[in-house]
Structure 1
Amino acid sequence: MKKLESMEQFEQLKNNGKHIFLFSADWCPDCRVIEPFMPEVVEKYSDYEFVFVDRDKFIDLCKELDIFGIPSFIGFEEGKELGRFVSKERKTKQEIEDFIQSLSA
């Protein structure tokens, strides 16, 4: 999974192609819970490029996008937001896959 390095990169990725941004942080226990199965999810939904966003490094972006809980996901295609799975709740693999499937529904 690619890591977001700059706001310029975010704008570039958001506006070109299909991306799912995963907002997370090293200190977040619920984010650690999804780590073991995320590679499977990334592989299964390879029509999207997944991008890890460090919440602490990009706090202004999180405020701008109303990301107040992590882990959270937002899908974009060619600059258009397809959907979001944003909450402070722990997420299961099934919930994440259901969210991704809903993006193309």
Structure 2
Amino acid sequence: MWSAAIHLHKLIVIQFAEFQNQLQHTELALVYCSTPTCNVCKVLRPKVELMVSEIGDWEFIYIDTTQNPEIAGQYLIFSVPTLLLFAQGKEVQRFNRHFGLDDLKLELERYQKLTRSAK
């Protein structure tokens, strides 16, 4: 079964296994899980994308959970927006529904520093 994910405004077609493989080969990834009908998600997404691009080092991956139920199920995503932070292929942090952008920024910067110091 094929599923679609949008990666920095580019549509890529992936399977669940390919999604996992992509995470394994990306040092830092923010996975933004949403649905087309989530109005909060529509407002929040550009702000998160801008933050990720300003901080650098993070790869932004958009997942439409209605088109990717296997990914949503495997990662236990029951509400949107849900943001998953991955460092070296492992989920290290999760934000869902109600969270502050300042808190998100602090965590992005913290994991960025940790991975840089580990090199």
Runs of 4+ in 1 over 3 A off after TM superposition: 101-105
* Structure ID, larger Rg: 2
Which residues of 2 match residues 34-53 of structure 1 at below 5 A? 34-53=44-63
CA–CA separation in structure 2 for the residues paired with 1:3 and 1:21:
14
CA–CA separation in structure 2 for the residues paired with 1:95 and 1:3:
29
Identity %: 20
Residue 38 of structure 2 corresponds to residue 28 of structure 1: yes
SS at structure 2 position matched to 1:22: strand
Greater strand content = 2
CA–CA separation in structure 1 for the residues paired with 2:78 and 2:91:
17
| Cross-structure match for 1:12 | 21
Distance 1:8 1:39, change over 3 A: same
Normalized against structure 2, the TM-score is what? 0.71
- Equivalenced residues, count: 103
Residue 114 of structure 2 corresponds to residue 100 of structure 1: no
SS at structure 1 position matched to 2:105: helix
CA–CA separation in structure 2 for the residues paired with 1:54 and 1:83:
19
Deviation at 1:21, TM superposition (A): 0.6
Structure 1: tracts of 5 or more residues without a match: none
CA–CA separation in structure 1 for the residues paired with 2:103 and 2:43:
13
RMSD: 2.1
Residue 66 of structure 2 corresponds to residue 56 of structure 1: yes
Deviation at 1:98, TM superposition (A): 3.2
